[in-house]
Amino acid sequence: MTTYLITGGSGFIGSNFIRYLLNKDPDSTVINLDKLTYAGNQENLRDIENDSRYHFVYGDICDESVVNEIFVTQKPDIVINFAAESHVDRSIGKPDDFIKTDVFGVFVLLEASKKYGVDFFIQISTDEVYGSIDKGYFQETDQLMPSSPYSATKAGGERLAFSYFVTYNLPVIITRASNNFGPYQYPEKLIPLFITNALENKFLPLYGDGKNVRDWLFVEDHCEAILYLIRKGTIGETYNIGSGNEMQNIEITNLILEYLKKPSSLIKPVKDRLGHDRRYALDCTKLHSLGWRSAVNFNKGMRTTIEWYKSNEEWWEKIKSGEFLDFYKSHYKLSYTS
Ligand code: NAD
Ligand code: TYD
């Protein structure tokens, strides 16, 4: 019987992970600590909220008292920190909460883990900490050159976690995954924004020349890789998690429009994102050598994702008519209108 403290479990990857974990490991108990920011959504785990193995705690990872109380009362064996401010565009507009959650929040979790003891502390980082690479692939030993406030704070958070391994022997593992896609992703990120805009016959705002490249990882593959690393990873190590599905944004856009039989006239080239990283690409030899490889083919993952958004209009319509709308109004006013 393992007790997991999952932070940010009401967001995109966290909610997929909790569902995945409870299916794969029936003996696990999950405490989900989530602040329910604009990106946290209790609808994401509606299907398991009455599962006796699942417990939701409403709170902030920066709040030492809430975090310590969980450690005292629940005694988690494994901490997996998904909680973060995660959207680059928001970090460009207002980095404040990124600095709090993505750095200070990690510190609070590390301190509690050190004080009360854990078997594993998994810090979910990102491939964005490396910055952009025109050719070739980043290895775990490459220097970090984060270029957005988001990626810079993620780099700060993960290096702090590493320091707790070196200094205090805390059993830390750091993961750096590439761009995820799949069900329950907040529709501000490229793929869900473009699918839902296309379904609503709205414009798809493509930044710059649309040729920026990302390596797209289906969220379930990411979840599987994290669990795999808890079994096979080495404490103190950092692991890239990618799929090798490199795509230009324009290719993704065309694929979505073709699948939904929508016209390419919906594509609206807009001013580029500030400091826009051109390409992310990971060398995943280290993880592959442990025996793990992504299993979900990109086209199959995209079909699953598009069909999910088609069948769950109520989920995203509610989001897109709320806070999302305020963000987009100011986002476009500030950056993308002449
Ligand atoms: P998300 O924005 O969908 O969800 C973040 C969750 O964290 C939300 O539920 C939110 O309420 C919660 N949260 C935010 N601040 C909090 C705080 N102070 N205390 C408690 N909870 C808080 O993000 P996501 O896309 O699911 O990403 C999860 C993690 O994976 C993040 O750490 C992100 O950096 C990392 N990551 C994401 C991707 C990706 O493509 N989405 C790729 C690599 C790594
Ligand atoms: P995003 O999903 O925000 O992920 P990240 O910036 O963390 O990689 O964006 C993915 C790519 O899509 C990135 O190159 C920016 C681009 N993009 C657009 O062209 N238009 C949009 O409206 C958004 C949100 C992103």
Interval 114-163: pLDDT, tens: 999 999 999 999 999 999 999 999 999 999 999 999 999 999 999 999 99
- Averaged pLDDT, 168-178: 99
Residue nearest to atom 4 of ligand 2 (CA): 189
The arithmetic mean of pLDDT across residues 2-31, rounded, is 98
Which is the catalytic residue, given 34, 60, 127, 221?
127
Pocket test for ligand 1, best of 32, 82, 219 (most atoms within 8 A of CB): 82
Vertex 227, ends 225 and 228: CA angle to 5°? 60
The token pair at 23 is: 């299916």
Question: Which pLDDT score is estimated for 61?
Answer: 98
Of 4, 150, 186, 239, the active-site residue reads 150
Quick: pLDDT tens for 64-118.
999 999 999 999 999 999 999 999 999 999 999 999 999 999 999 999 999 999 9
pLDDT at 52: 97
Residue 215: active-site member: no
User: What Å distances lie between residue 5 and 67, 75, 82, 280, 287, CA to CA?
Assistant: 10, 9, 10, 30, 24
Query: Is residue 336 predicted with pLDDT exceeding 50?
Result: no
Which atom of ligand 1 is the closest one to the Cα of 177?
43
What pLDDT, on the 0 to 100 scale, is given for residue 328?
67
What is the rounded average pLDDT for all residues in the chain?
A: 96
Q: What is the pTM of this model?
A: 0.97
Tell me which residue has tokens 């995945």: 20
- Catalytic residue status for 158: no
Sign of the four-CA dihedral 102, 103, 106, 112: negative
The mean per-residue pLDDT over the stretch 219-227 comes to 98
Between the CA of 263 and the centroid of ligand 1 the distance, in Å, is 33
Q: Is the pLDDT of residue 332 over 70?
A: no
SS3 57: strand
Q: Which pLDDT does position 27 carry in this prediction?
A: 95
Rounded Cα distance, 301 and 299, in Å: 5
What's 2-180+216-241's CATH class?
A: alpha beta
Name, in order, each residue with C-beta under 8 angstroms of 243's C-beta and a sequence gap of 6 or more: 178, 215, 216, 217, 218, 221, 294, 296, 298
pLDDT value, residue 333 = 54
Asked if residue 177 has its Cβ within 6 Å of ligand 1, the reply is yes
Instruction: Give the closest residue (by CA) to ligand 2 atom 6.
Output: 88
218 pLDDT tier (thresholds 50, 70, 90): very high
Does 128 participate in catalysis according to the annotation?
A: yes
Residue 323: the pLDDT is 72
